[in-house]
């Protein structure tokens, strides 16, 4: 039933570790996104993929690497985690995402990452 799902919901890890967050959507959408929401609740786009192809790659450290094995999945791998990476990471999807970004985006439940 779940439209956009993410795992894990919570992730607590030590500085320097490598971790992955998985995202899946069953809406048949062509475009998927990763957002970061910091402690001040500011939601900022990180990446966007359309049909497995990278469309948006905002200024994000190259320790963050998205991977899209198929258009229903967009995973986020983070290397050498730092304290400042602590945030809530949201995955989202939309029907097309190329028509001027006018398609409604549907968000996953979020992954709360805490780096100690």
Partner 1 sequence: GQNIDQPTEMTATEGAIVQINCTYQTSGFNGLFWYQQHAGEAPTFLSYNVLDGLEEKGRFSSFLSRSKGYSYLLLKELQMKDSASYLCAASAGTALIFGKGTTLSVSS
| Tokens found for residue 64 | 């963050």
Asked if 66 touches partner 1 (CB under 8 A), the answer is no
Map tokens 């400042």 to a residue. 84
Segment 39 to 58, residues that bind partner 1, using CB under 8 A: 40-45, 48, 55-56
Mask for 9-38, x = binds partner 1 (CB under 8 A) = ------------------------------
- Residues in contact with partner 1, counted by CB under 8 A, come to a total of 22
CB of 16 to partner 1, least distance (A): 28
């Amino acid at each position: 039933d779940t439209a956009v799902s993410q795992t894990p919901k919570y992730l607590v890890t030590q500085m320097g570790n490598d971790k992955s967050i998985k995202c899946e959507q069953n809406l048949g959408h062509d475009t998927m996104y990763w957002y970061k929401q910091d402690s001040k609740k500011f939601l900022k786009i990180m990446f966007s993929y359309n049909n497995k192809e990278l469309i948006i790659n905002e200024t994000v450290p190259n320790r963050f690497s998205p991977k899209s094995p198929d258009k229903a999945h967009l995973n986020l791998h983070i290397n050498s985690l730092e304290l400042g990476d602590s945030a809530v990471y949201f995955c989202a999807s939309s029907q097309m995402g190329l028509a001027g970004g006018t398609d409604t985006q549907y968000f996953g439940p979020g992954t709360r990452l805490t780096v100690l």
